[in-house]
Structure 1
Amino acid sequence: MRRYVPVFVVLLLLAATLFIMGGAPRPDAPPAPSVRVGTVAPDFTLRTYDGDTVTLSHLRGKVVLINFWATWCPPCRAEKPALEKLYQRFSNRDDFEILAVNVEEDAQRALDVYLERNPHSFPIPIDAQARVQELYRVYRFPETFILDRNGIVVDHVIGGRDWTDAQVIAYISRLLGE
């Protein structure tokens, strides 16, 4: 019986190691979000669909809604008309901006087709190399960050939303000090 004790101890240690490793994060799991409510949104510069350049830090003093999306994403397409209405609702103000960051590799061609049927008036920065998408740890679409005038993330929305909802309008109005 004593000669089985070392084998039993080795098996017990092996089982304990496997148990502990089972609780470890998987290497293919997305990393924890680096952009959280209450933190300063990471700065970025991107070229827009219209050929302009937008730098987030240059928008300080404005309430900014950053919406990550793609034309192949049905919920993204579904919420774009409401985003346009929200943008138009506050178009008389110079302290509100929407950045609809497109994350497609072939964004220019995809947007040419999409925007022909779905015109917009807000800027569409293109993140074809997914640098900003990775910086913000965006893995689901659409995903939206709302920033206050100081560039602090005050809301984080995963999935589509009705941006014309009265509560959303009231929330944006409060951020703008209306």
Structure 2
Amino acid sequence: MIKKILGIVVLVTLSFIVIVGLVDNNTNKTSGSGTTENNAEGAGIVAPGQTGIKPGKMAPDFELQTLSGDTFKLSDLRGKKVILNFWASWCNPCKEEMPVMQKFYEAHKDEVEVIAVNLTGNEVGVKAARDYINKHNYTYTIPLDKDLDAREKYDVSIIPTTYFIGTDGKIQQPHKSGPMTYEYMTKMLDKLK
């Protein structure tokens, strides 16, 4: 008798969890680009299942125009430590992370390059990215991934996503999906060679 009651309690609990998950999934906001925004850890922009680039692999090179109009090429930073972040202005977890990245950048810009690639192809336009950056006075480099080539090379399926690249041009730590804290960035910087 106790086993039957316990079994019923387990089934009711599991059913409740599934129903809550489905309701929560259906109430996520949809951005202007047609992608689903999930405020918990990051915003999904493509189907899940991509795993990103593993530590020990060379960081794929890319060349993009920056928000300031310059040409940015990742391989030009070889010999420097790099925190490579992917974001969009409509992404709430990105908005949570960017002021922390600015504070970190101001404190550590002599030790590491902070690069925040705007997924302009998933963005509501360059103007949205420019307005957001100017409004908050972020000063790290902002390349514009208009064709989403860099996103594809890095298998970014959730934003923000961040890679940690060493002076050898290799990914040296597992990538981070979701917003970073100041402490996390400091920890990753300490591990980069």
Both proteins in one fold, TM over 0.5: yes
Pick aligned residue for 1:96 from 93, 109, 112: 112
Name the CA distance, whole Å, in 1 between partners of 2:155 and 2:90.
19
Aligned to 1:14: none
Pick aligned residue for 1:40 from 58, 64, 67: 58
C-alpha contact 2:50 2:157 (8 A) present in aligned 1: no
1:15-164 correspondence runs (5 A): 32-33=50-51, 35-91=53-109, 93=110, 95-105=111-121, 106-155=124-173, 156-162=175-181, 164=182
Amino acid of the structure 1 residue aligned with 2:178: G
Pick aligned residue for 2:186 from 161, 166, 169: 169
Structure 1 gap ranges (5+): 1-27
User: Larger C-alpha radius of gyration, 1 or 2?
Assistant: 1
Gap change, CA 1:126 and 1:107, over 3 Å in 2: farther
Runs of 4+ displaced beyond 6 Å: none
Q: Secondary structure at the match of 1:124?
A: coil
Amino acid of the structure 2 residue aligned with 1:175: L
Name the CA distance, whole Å, in 2 between partners of 1:174 and 1:114.
31
Q: How many residues align?
A: 145
Give the drift of 1:32: 4.1
Give the drift of 1:135: 1.1
Gap change, CA 1:61 and 1:171, over 3 Å in 2: same
RMSD between aligned alpha carbons? 1.9
C-alpha contact 1:69 1:141 (8 A) present in aligned 2: yes
Name the CA distance, whole Å, in 2 between partners of 1:98 and 1:142.
14
Structure 2 gap ranges (5+): 1-45
